[in-house]
A and B are shown apart, each in its own frame.
Chain A
Amino acid sequence: MKRPGIHGQRLIAAFLFGCLLFNYPLLYLFNIDYRLFGIPLLYVYAFAAWGLLIALTAAVIERRTD
């Protein structure tokens, strides 16, 4: 693989985004007593955000031009 470049930058952005998703401010916001399809929102958020992060990483890696 060649030197990182744009892909490295995208990955760092994804990493920072992930850090934000899974820490205090956003977690607190989703920590409410609401249920989506009967499932608690916090639970849905955690796994949805997790899946989103994985998909984002996959997209950046698989779209490499080298």
Chain B
Amino acid sequence: MLTGYVIVLASFVYVGLLFAIAYYGDKRADAGRSIIANPYIYALSLAVYCTSWTFYGSVGRAATSGIGFLPIYLGPTLMAVLWWYVLLKMIRISKANRITSIADFVASRYGKSQLLGGLVTVIAVIGIVPYISLQLKAVSNSFSIILKYPAIATPDSQATIPLLTDNTFYIALLLAIFTILFGTRHLDASERHEGLVAAIAFESVVKLLAFVAVGVYATYVLYDGFADIFTSAIEYPQLAKLLDFGGSSVDYTSWASLTFLSMLAIMFLPRQFQIAVVENVDERHLNKAVWLFPLYLLIINIFVLPITFAGMMHFPAGNVDADTFVLNLPIAQQQSLLTLTVFIGGLAAATGMVIVETIALSTMVCNNLVMPLLLRLNMLHLHERADHSSLIVGIRRGAIVGVLMLGYAYFRLAGEAYALVSIGLISFAAVAQFAPAILGGMFWKGATRLGAICGLLAGFFIWAYTLLLPSFAKSGWLPFAFVEHGIFGVHVLKPLELFGLSGLDDITHCLFWSMFFNIGAYISISLVTKQSFAEQVQAALFVDAHSEPRLQRAESLRGDASVNELITLVGRFLGQRRAHDAFAAYALKCGAKSAKELKPDAELIHFAETLLAGAIGAGSANVVVASVVQEEPLGIDKVMNILDETSQALAYSRQLEQKSHELEIATTELRTANQRLQELDRLKDDFVSTVTHELRTPLTSIRAFAEILHDNPALELSQRAKFLGIITRESERLTRLINQVLDLAKIESGNAEWHTGEIDVREVIEDAVSSTSQMFSDKNIVLELALPADLPTINADRDRLMQVMLNLLSNAAKFCRDDGGRVKVSSTLLADGLRVQVTDNGIGISADDQRVIFEKFRQVGDTLTQKPQGSGLGLPICRQIVHHFGGRLWVDSVSGQGATFSFVLPLLRAGATPTPAAAAPSRFGT
């Protein structure tokens, strides 16, 4: 069923699916609705770290070294923990400086050095192209195995297959087309390739599912779970020893060094830098990636050992290569669908790596090798008006094809050579050489360009001598003599036991010596050489990227160039329209209306350079701009001064912010207090004016009548008596008023004297009634009492309570009907207090007036026909008194049907002394 046609078709369908996803991703990105702006996609795309080496090679490694396949995944897990520091900083620096590759990062940090950029590119190409070949080899192997289905097969040797029938050749071609289509859409390489990242994330999912599928199959279908598989495995001695650390071929030292090596690889492999830094959409995605990516690694590795054991138990006698267990197990069991799934998974693992690595390498080659060459050979004729944008794109595409074809060629040539199959760790060791220059550059301002160059050269040279060349020798391409006896026969320079350090495996040995010389040269040369101004500025920018996100750049380049010249220059590499758009946007940001109004100052020149750097690399951009602009180099002192001033200014402004914040808080508090004071002041003014008015009225009468009496001595006696009566009454009224005002003031301010004691309410009421009985009988008002016999005593001030009763009673008398008036006084015992009511059948009080009567100086009644009969303070005082004892006073009335004044006083609870309520603040309008 699984014929050749089906397999080839499936492969091309799969690659077609990749194209479709990438196309869709790019379309969405152009529409502004990106599908990859998502932390999960970011974390998945990072899994491009898992290549066919993971998919097929882990099982192969486990077959010889048991659990020794694990360190390569533990390293990235450990490094991920530190990513929050290190990778975040890298991302920020790269975004700020428009860095598009590792080579660009290094070049930019050390003063935009083209030499360093070129060096890094060369090392990367030499170290990574064989790794690409390995992926193609895996694809080819898996093709030849699956084509023999259902028979188990070992892969054929590739060299015998003619080129045009080699499936791998067509795969390589397709990958080149894919990478060109989705990796070089923009001229500005600092823009993201959204479609590509979407495709990579998809591939990560495919390979995970495929591997887990075969793992589950091996563990739960072929056997009964983990326990079963391990128990069966223990029966075989050679399997049992794989589970013991000592029995495997990995000792603790190489375990540690592999972990360390992979920690560096996850940062500095060009494909990892590309995905993690250049393609990063949002630095917050890092938060999830820090633990999601290790989780992915964990899941994809759980089933490695079970698959290994299943394979070793099913294919004894070692005639099936362990690297192929993953594919051959389902084949042996005639599971065609599973086999196809596994094959596609392996394809996904290989193609993902190849695509991303090719883009990364081609960018580096274009920006850091080809461009500088063209500039140096003056082939770009910068002073003419040629448009180079299509040239740049062409170079990049050519580089992609070149890298892929190189990889394919190496794969065909190397065949089964050791130099290919072991290339994985050798590549890791190559990119590890970038670590000192990059990590040192990010955290140590004093690292110099010369130091970086020397360190890189030393590390590269040692790596080549101790790892790369011996691998060639082991493949038979170089005479083995130099490995056995050292170069020129010098024993102490034996490549695998340099300076006599024996007992370590190849990788650990190389790692030690290359790091030793790399870091040693880097530090020592940096400490004895000086930096140029450009280097110092760049160093400050890189190292301070975390703490000073908006550090103003001090320019080391001043010059004369018109704005138009700059735009044209940039346009020659980026395309005229894009250049115009970019400058227009920048102009808007600076507050100018259009690009024409921009001043050609240092800021603008720097902006132009940064734009260019995205397309051709920082080093080349520097050269290009410098050639057009006439330089006036800034003195180093000036530059350092500017930097110093800026950091001082920043420190001051931080202090200022703090102070102003405290000030704000204080101001708000003061404002609230002020408002309250003003309110109280207004209330006081109102009160004073009202009181003076009330006092003045009786005084006016008194004075008027007194004057009349004085001026008219011949007034007749009855008149005199009448007027004197009025004077007396008004004086009494005045006295009463003043007393009440004072009383009220005292109560409200809390200065009144209260003589609280136990009193019998009934007795007080009866006293009050008898005092006023005269008044009632004068007006022919019937007074009725309804007081229960056994009222409890309450705590109150007797005099004050009397005052309340007298007031209520006199009010009732005043407003009763002139004939047939009835007043009833009753008392009831409530659950929470004692209620006393005074009811009259007078004219009643309307709802509006019910509010008014408790206001100071307010009375109700027809003011035209009736003279005011009181001071207007009686009820407010009563209310204050009742409140003081914790009770309440209110009125119920309907206009025309009399009124009932009630008050409730709280009962004396057994054993408790009621505390008087605090005097209520003056409330106008209650």
Residues of A bordering B, CB below 8 Å: 1, 3-4, 7-8, 11-12, 14-15, 18-19, 22-24, 27-28, 31, 33, 35, 37-40, 42-43, 46-47, 50-51, 53-55, 57-58, 61-62, 64
Contact = CB atoms under 8 A, between A and B. Distances in A.
B67 A61 contact: no
Contacts of B288: 61
Contacts of A1: 88, 283-284
B82 A11 contact: yes
B12 interface: no
Contact of B245 (A27, A39, A62): A27
Interface residues of B, dominant DSSP:
helix
Interface residues of B, number: 38
B308 to A, nearest CB: 12
B513 interface: no
Interface string B545-567: 01100000000000000000000
A19 B82 CA distance: 12
A54 B228 CA distance: 28
Given A42-B245, A50-B74, A24 B252 contact: yes
Interface in B199-246: 226-228, 230-231, 243-246
A8 B70 CA distance: 27
A39 to B, nearest CB: 5
Given A27-B245, A37-B226, 7 more contacts: A1-B283, A22-B78, A23-B259, A40-B230, A46-B70, A54-B294, A57-B291
A33 B240 CA distance: 10
A60 B252 CA distance: 29
Interface of B: 67, 70-71, 74, 77-78, 80-82, 84-85, 88, 226-228, 230-231, 243-246, 252, 255-256, 259, 283-284, 287-288, 290-291, 294-295, 298, 302, 305, 546-547
A7 B295 CA distance: 21
B85 A4 contact: yes
7 contacts: A22-B71, A37-B226, A38-B231, A39-B227, A50-B294, A58-B290, A61-B84
Nearest to A22: B74
A45 B341 CA distance: 31
A1 to B, nearest CB: 7
Nearest to A13: B81
A15 B81 contact: yes
Contacts of A42: 67, 243-245
Given A38-B230, A50-B298, A53-B294, A61 B287 contact: yes
A40 B243 contact: yes
B302 A47 contact: yes
A42 B241 CA distance: 12
Contacts of A27: 245, 252, 255
Nearest to A31: B245
Contacts of B290: 57-58, 61
B544 to A, nearest CB: 12
Nearest to B253: A24
Contact of B244 (A33, A38, A57): A33
A51 B252 CA distance: 21
B227 A54 contact: no
A58 B227 contact: no
Q: Which 8 A-B pairs have the closest CB atoms?
A: A38-B227, A58-B291, A31-B245, A15-B81, A24-B252, A57-B291, A40-B243, A54-B294
Nearest to B84: A11
A50 B246 CA distance: 21
B618 to A, nearest CB: 26
Contacts of A64: 287
A10 B256 CA distance: 23
B226 A31 contact: no
A38 B77 CA distance: 27
B295 A54 contact: yes
A57 B294 contact: yes
A54 B77 contact: yes
Contact of A37 (B227, B252, B256): B227
Contacts of B284: 1
A22 B71 CA distance: 9
Contact of A39 (B77, B226, B283, B291): B226
A58 to B, nearest CB: 4
Contacts of A15: 78, 81-82
Contact of B546 (A3, A24, A37): A3
Nearest to B296: A54
A54 B291 contact: yes
B291 A43 contact: no
Contacts of A47: 298, 302
A31 to B, nearest CB: 4
Q: Which of B81, B226, B259 has the most CB of A within 10 A?
A: B81
Nearest to B284: A1
A43 B62 CA distance: 12
Contacts of A55: 291
Given A38-B226, A61-B290, A23 B84 contact: no
A59 B366 CA distance: 42
Contacts of B71: 22
Nearest to B81: A15
